[in-house]
Structure 1
Amino acid sequence: MDSVFQCQDLAEVREQIDRVDRSLVALIAERGIYVRQAAAFKHSREEVEGGKRVDQVMRRVERLAGELGADPALTAAVYRTMIEYFVADEMAAFRERAAGD
């Protein structure tokens, strides 16, 4: 971390946590938009499930966690949960698209 605000009291800590939470939620929403865009380019169930890609993402975020000082186990757990959700969402969109063909 390059710059972290040095809080002087609990209220400041909570204010910074709230700021970070807002940023995290915004980034999750943005990631979801790109996942939905990616779904439009996938033509099979295997592509949607993306085993190879999931492995690549997990290796990358675990490495990033180490570089940025985040807990690698927590980061991996968060990403596994997020990826499971997004894959399920993509799969539903894929099935819906396939049913319309």
Structure 2
Amino acid sequence: MDVRCTSIEEVREHIDRIDRELVALLARRGNLVNQAAAFKKTRDDVRAPARVEQVITKVRALATESGAPGDVVEQVYRAMIAAFIEEELKAHAALPGQPAP
């Protein structure tokens, strides 16, 4: 849904609303990432480079469908995935029976 704004204040209001939605979605995604840690046996399973590339391919296609810039979407997702992998590695390490990193 494209919005035509008539002032910078209106632009900022819309961006602030989107930011609230994005942060809520990141929280939901993070919860699932932490749950995924319990299903992975090794730190390499957490890193899952093949899965990362699957996700990147998928979101680039979604970007094209949505009219979003594919390079920006990819950069954002790579940064987000890297941060979530670090969080998931911490969650994985905290599981019973896991060796120290």
- For each residue in 1:50-71, what CA deviation from the matched residue of structure 2 results, as whole angstroms up to 9, or x when unmatched? 1111111000011111111111
The one-letter code of the counterpart of 1:95 is A
Number of aligned positions between the proteins? 98
Higher helix share: 1
Q: Report the 3-state secondary structure (helix = DSSP H, G, I; strand = E; otherwise coil) of the residue aligned with 1:70.
A: coil
Which 4+ residue blocks in structure 1 deviate beyond 6 angstroms? none
Q: How far apart are the structure 2 equivalents of 1:22 and 1:66?
A: 24
Give the Å deviation of 1:44.
1.5
For structure 1, which runs of at least 5 residues remain unmatched after alignment?
A: none
Instruction: State the Cα RMSD in Å.
Output: 1.5
TM-score (norm 1): 0.88
For structure 2, which runs of at least 5 residues remain unmatched after alignment?
A: none
TM-score (norm 2): 0.88
Q: How far apart are the structure 2 equivalents of 1:95 and 1:39?
A: 9
Q: How far apart are the structure 1 equivalents of 2:65 and 2:14?
A: 22
Which among 57, 80, 85 is matched to residue 82 of structure 1? 80
Q: Report the 3-state secondary structure (helix = DSSP H, G, I; strand = E; otherwise coil) of the residue aligned with 2:94.
A: helix
Q: How far apart are the structure 1 equivalents of 2:48 and 2:29?
A: 16
What percentage of residue pairs aligned between the two structures are identical? Answer: 45
